[in-house]
Amino acid sequence: MYRSGVSIWYNVSNLERTLEFYSGKLGFEVIFHDPESGMAMVNTNTKDCVIGFSEAETVEPATSSTVFEVINIEEAMKQLEENGVSFIGEVEHIPGMAKLATFVDPDGHNLMLAETLVEL
């Protein structure tokens, strides 16, 4: 029934600023960008998993988290911090599960890095 593919969509207040963040700071590839309609999509680190953005007049920060898997959380944080990403709080440790680091995009949508400690 399903085929490979997950997409996450966010309302954003300024598409250019959002793309600068996701492509410039997080390093994701922009695969679609239509300024006229205020829409864009980026590839993530995962095959067939894309994030879409649509400009909106009113934006409420999403409370659900989009979590990106990394190999080593401290190294990944260091690299992103060099790109200008600020993390919120300390690395959170869920024993036997994962290490998590929280940050937000320019509209305050919740994002996270996760280093999985056990394979599921």
Contact residues: another protein, CB under 8 A:
9-11, 15, 35-39, 52-60
Question: What's the min distance (Å) between Cβ of 113 and another protein?
Answer: 24
Please identify, using beta-carbon distances, which residue of 53 and 76 lies nearer to another protein.
53
Quick one: 40 or 114, whose CB is closer to another protein?
Answer: 40
Write down the least CB distance from residue 114 to another protein, Å: 24
Taking the least distance from each CB to another protein, the nearer of 52 and 106 is 52
- In which residue are the tokens 């992103």 written? 80
Nearest to 100 by CA among 109, 83, 87: 87
Kindly list the distances between the CA atom of residue 81 and the CA atoms of 64, 88, 101, in Å, as whole numbers in the listed order: 23, 11, 12
Kindly state the smallest distance separating residue 98's Cβ from another protein, in Å.
28
The least distance separating another protein from the CB of residue 55, rounded to whole angstroms, comes to 4
The secondary element (H helix, E strand) that includes residue 52 is strand 49-55
Q: How far is 10 from 61, CA to CA, in rounded Å?
A: 9
